[in-house]
Amino acid sequence: MADIDNITASVERIKAAFESHNYICSDQIATAVYLAYHLHKPILIEGPPGVGKTELAKTTSELFELPLIRLQCYEGLDEAKAIYEWKYGKQLLYTQVLKETLDEVLQGAKGFAESVNRLHEFGDIFFSEEFLEPRPLLKALRQEDGCVLLIDEVDKSDHEFESLLLEILSDFQVSIPEIGTVKAVAEPPMVFLTSNNTREISDALKRRCLHLYIPFPDQELEQRIIHARVPEIPPELQRQLVAFIQELRELDLKKVPAISETIDWARTLLLLHTESLDPKLVRDTLNVILKFQEDIINVDAEITAITNKITAAGR
């Protein structure tokens, strides 16, 4: 069991702990984790794709040694898939069993009213915990030692689903009509929600969360991230490739390369035993960082200029 209290004692400790797990975070991110833990508030993380939103939740779960429960959102996600569902098959099976043993059950019952009463007892059993299939949200509430709950890409879900989330986010409980309200067993889970901002998240949801915006990192931070993730890469190449990516982000592109792309590129270059960037090499590996043919064509013209600028700066 990780010493959570020790880790979360201060922002600096959180930062250091994240770094030991190869997640380089800014003060802002560390502060968010610190406050989320101490105030028991969910964090809504926004930012361009590939800046480590999901990774933050994953690393937190590793750090606290808590299980990560993940709910991937998509259009049409509803409570049956997110909160709970009844085990229909089991219910059906038990009804069959009941049907066969109906005589035994009703044996000795006098009159219709008593028979119905006896059957009612069974009816309640069918909608009890035994037959409840917990889905991620309910599962998260029932973890004895707490857990990290990641609700990924909440902007992809329907508007109605957001409203479903409100109860669990503000009170850490869900209401199941047949059973009642289920509250978090012990420690409320650490909740992370991520959003790519494809649509506006409702105010009600935002109000219940800490709002963390993760932008693209600056050059220095990105270099440290690359260093942590791909430690084998020579320092000069690392500087060059980060500078190159930073330049690319300035251009008008359909999809700007994110940190994950930088990491992929660093791995690619390492695999190719590169020591320094040159235009030809960049051109050959451009498809690792740019995902649209249109972008690749646009950037192609600039490659030589940018590469020269970067290699010149190193000298």
Q: Let me know: does 87 contact 135? Beta carbons within 8 Å.
A: no
What's the Cα-to-Cα distance from 166 to each of 13, 37, 163, 169, 202, rounded to whole Å?
31, 19, 5, 5, 11
Question: Least Å distance between CB 212 and another protein?
Answer: 6
The DSSP result for 60-121, as a single string, is HHHHHT--EEEEE--TT--HHHHTEEE-HHHHHHHHHHHHHTHHHHHTT--HHHHHHHHHHH
Question: Least Å distance between CB 155 and another protein?
Answer: 10
Between 35 and 270, CB nearer to another protein = 35
Between 67 and 134, CB nearer to another protein = 134
Between 96 and 175, CB nearer to another protein = 96
Question: Least Å distance between CB 104 and another protein?
Answer: 22
Between 88 and 292, CB nearer to another protein = 88
What's the Cα-to-Cα distance from 141 to each of 39, 87, 178, 259, rounded to whole Å?
17, 19, 18, 33
Question: Least Å distance between CB 136 and another protein?
Answer: 20
Question: Least Å distance between CB 46 and another protein?
Answer: 7
Measure the CA–CA gap between 35 and 198, rounded to whole angstroms. Answer: 27
Question: Least Å distance between CB 78 and another protein?
Answer: 11
Between 142 and 211, CB nearer to another protein = 211
Q: Let me know: does 64 contact 7? Beta carbons within 8 Å.
A: yes
Q: Let me know: does 192 contact 61? Beta carbons within 8 Å.
A: no
Between 29 and 138, CB nearer to another protein = 29
Question: Least Å distance between CB 109 and another protein?
Answer: 26
Between 143 and 157, CB nearer to another protein = 157
Measure the CA–CA gap between 195 and 191, rounded to whole angstroms. Answer: 13
Q: Which residues of 87-115 are buried (b: 16+ CB within 10 A; e: fewer)?
A: eeeeeeebeeeeeeeeeeeeeeeeeeeee
Between 80 and 272, CB nearer to another protein = 80
Measure the CA–CA gap between 203 and 258, rounded to whole angstroms. Answer: 28
Question: Least Å distance between CB 118 and another protein?
Answer: 22
Task: List, in order, residues 6 or more apart from 119 with CB less than 8 Å away.
Answer: 105, 106
Give 105's Cβ-side CA count (13 Å radius): 16
CA-nearest of 241, 224, 220 to 307 is: 241
Q: Which residues bind another protein (CB under 8 A)?
A: 11, 27-28, 31-32, 35, 38-39, 41, 43-44, 46, 75, 88-89, 91-92, 158-160, 199-200, 202-203, 206-208, 210-213
